[in-house]
Amino acid sequence: MEQNRVILFDTTLRDGEQSPGASMNLEEKVRIALTLEDMGVDVIEAGFPIASAGDFEAVNAVAKVVKKSRIAGLARAVRADIERCAEAVRPAELSRIHTFISTSPLHMKYKLQMEPDAVVQAIHDSVSMARNLVEDVEWSAEDGSRTEHDFLCRCVETAIAAGARTINIPDTVGYAVPDEYAALIAMLINRVPNIDQAILSVHCHNDLGLAVANSLAAVRAGARQIECTINGLGERAGNAALEEIVMALRTRNDAMPFSTGIRTEAITRASKLVSTVTGFVVQPNKAIVGANAFAHESGIHQDGVLKNAATYEIMTPESVGLSRSSLVMGKHSGRHAFRDKLKQLGYELGDNALNEAFKRFKDLCDKKKDVFDEDIIALVDDEARAH
């Protein structure tokens, strides 16, 4: 794979489903997986097979139908998880076992109640076991961003020596900030002797709203896989949003010269599907996929966009699969935008009629926050009937 290509690992079906209230049934998971494949996602984490019979069946069903993306299943560092995961992903043309264990002092002491040496042994054993079952093994250091550096280096070196080809350093609780997270990735590249045998991956949660910024900072420091979800779905405040990462890399390729395999025109459709299936409404001002992401309300902005869209649009709506940006008509809209809207609706008014209609439109805006196409049609038709 070329040096600047970033692998996109989508975990909407696993970490995304861990959002309270976001469960999906088998048929919905298969539909989402096929959409992700069609969009060009490299790796689809389809679930956590040991978690339930339903999760196993969903991972297994996805593994049977998806051909182009690699299908991963999650497993803790225990035999039963790893064997169940291997069974679930077996039908896939390209499969992966993603095994993890916590490495931070807090997690080792309170959650695992294991000594650091025992954790290192578990890493060796779990990765070796997974490698005996599948070719492609990813190992994650849960709570990696809060792990002591010498110990993290030791864990990563052990996982690579046991056969892991992707090493993921999650910011499990969304605690990292970009410079610090990038420095952590750079530290691993500098200090782990066998690091060149693996791809470094990042998995950022959004508790401080920094998941995308942290992921991009890590890529600039040398990471080459990003784990993310559609609409930023995921535990608590969610994961890094796939659409934001991809469009940031595409739009600011001058500052971040990295590519992905994503067909960006498929983004809107995937976002709508995930929102419909989970019932999680996308906030209107959400970057890239929110209803207002390409909408212009202020008259100054509308006028600029009509003259040249680049004045207020840093990417085209078409590039994410929308047909065109919407000029939302309201009290901030100017005469130029109003004339354009009338034209779109099929009206060509002379100067006097336009002035009269614009005046009535402004009066209406004082009474109504959003003026819809139907309101404008009624306004112009009433005006025509009155004369």
Interacting residues toward ligand KIV by CB under 6 A: 15, 100, 140, 142, 170, 172, 203, 205
Whichever of 168 and 325 has its CB closer to ligand KIV, that residue is 168
Residue 239 CB, shortest distance to Zn ion, in Å, is 6
Torsion, Cα of 343, 344, 347, 352 (10° steps) = -40
Whichever of 142 and 243 has its CB closer to ligand KIV, that residue is 142
Which residues make up each annotated binding site?
A: 15, 203, 205, 239
Residue 132 CB, shortest distance to Zn ion, in Å, is 26
The backbone torsions φ and ψ at residue 11, rounded to the nearest 5 degrees and listed phi first, read -120, 30
CA distance 116 to 105: 8
The residue at minimum Cβ distance from Zn ion is 15
CA distance 13 to 65: 15
Whichever of 55 and 157 has its CB closer to Zn ion, that residue is 55
Residue 166 CB, shortest distance to Zn ion, in Å, is 15
CA distance 358 to 125: 74
Q: Return the one option of Zn ion, ligand KIV, none that residue 142 interacts with (CB less than 5 to 8 A, by type).
A: ligand KIV
Q: Return the one option of ligand KIV, Zn ion, none that residue 224 interacts with (CB less than 5 to 8 A, by type).
A: none
Residue 72 CB, shortest distance to Zn ion, in Å, is 13
Note the residues at the interface with Zn ion (CB under 5 A). 15
Q: Return the one option of ligand KIV, Zn ion, none that residue 140 interacts with (CB less than 5 to 8 A, by type).
A: ligand KIV
CA distances from 44 to 68, 130, 232, 236, 257 (A): 10, 18, 15, 21, 24
Q: Return the one option of Zn ion, ligand KIV, none that residue 296 interacts with (CB less than 5 to 8 A, by type).
A: none
Q: Return the one option of Zn ion, ligand KIV, none that residue 174 interacts with (CB less than 5 to 8 A, by type).
A: none
Full 3-state SS string of 208-277? CCCHHHHHHHHHHHCCCEEEEEHHHCCCCCCECEHHHHHHHHHHCCCCCCCECCCCHHHHHHHHHHHHHH
Would you give the DSSP letter of residue 107?
Answer: I
Q: Return the one option of Zn ion, ligand KIV, none that residue 100 interacts with (CB less than 5 to 8 A, by type).
A: ligand KIV
What SS3 state is found at 326? strand
Which residues make up each annotated binding site for Mn(2+)?
A: 15, 203, 205, 239
- Is residue 175 within 8 A of residue 143, CB to CB? The reply is no
Locate the DSSP E strands across the chain.
7-10, 43-47, 70-76, 95-102, 137-142, 166-171, 199-204, 225-228, 295-296, 326-327
Whichever of 18 and 35 has its CB closer to ligand KIV, that residue is 18
Whichever of 202 and 349 has its CB closer to ligand KIV, that residue is 202
Residue 4 CB, shortest distance to Zn ion, in Å, is 25
Residue 365 CB, shortest distance to ligand KIV, in Å, is 47
- Is residue 58 within 8 A of residue 71, CB to CB? The reply is no
Whichever of 82 and 320 has its CB closer to ligand KIV, that residue is 82
